[in-house]
């Protein structure tokens, strides 16, 4: 069964992957792997300054997209 995150779930308001919850738990300088079948998010990364990034697979390559916790919650 496919798992979808809070950003792309076709079953909103229900979803399996809560990106905001994961992002709040990730320590600075670390990442947490996730696999979203809908939008190809592979991980959430928090840099040493506390900035958040979504690691997405695009055309077979991983790209980092800057994001805020507010956007993950909203």
Q: What is the pLDDT of residues 8-57, one digit of tens each?
A: 888 878 889 999 999 999 999 999 999 998 889 999 999 999 999 999 99
The predicted structure's pLDDT at residue 7? 86
List the alpha helices (DSSP H) in 1-74: 19-25, 69-73
Residue 37: strand, helix, or coil: coil
Global pTM reads 0.87
Residue 74 pLDDT exceeds 80:
no
The predicted structure's pLDDT at residue 11? 80
The predicted structure's pLDDT at residue 2? 74
């Amino acid at each position: 069964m496919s798992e979808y995150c809070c950003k792309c779930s076709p079953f909103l308001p229900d979803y399996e992957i809560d990106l905001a919850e994961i992002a709040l738990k990730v320590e600075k300088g670390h990442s947490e792997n996730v696999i979203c079948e809908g939008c190809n998010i592979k991980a959430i990364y928090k840099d040493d300054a506390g900035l958040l990034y979504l690691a997405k697979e695009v055309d077979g390559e991983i790209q980092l997209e800057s994001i805020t916790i507010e956007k993950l919650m909203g």
